[in-house]
Amino acid sequence: MLGATSKAIASVVSLFMLGPALGGTLGARWAVRVRRPALAYGTAELGVGFDDRA
pLDDT at 54: 58
Q: Is residue 5 predicted with pLDDT exceeding 80?
A: yes
Q: What is the pTM of this model?
A: 0.59
Distance CA 27, CA 20 (A): 10
- For the chain, the domains span 6-53
pLDDT at 20: 95
Convert the pLDDT of each residue in 17-53 to its tens digit: 999 999 999 999 988 999 999 999 999 999 999 987 7
Q: Read off the pLDDT of each residue in 8-14 and give the average, rounded to a whole number.
A: 92
pLDDT at 1: 65
- b/e map of 7-20 (b: 16 or more CB within 10 Å)? eeeeeeeeeeeeee
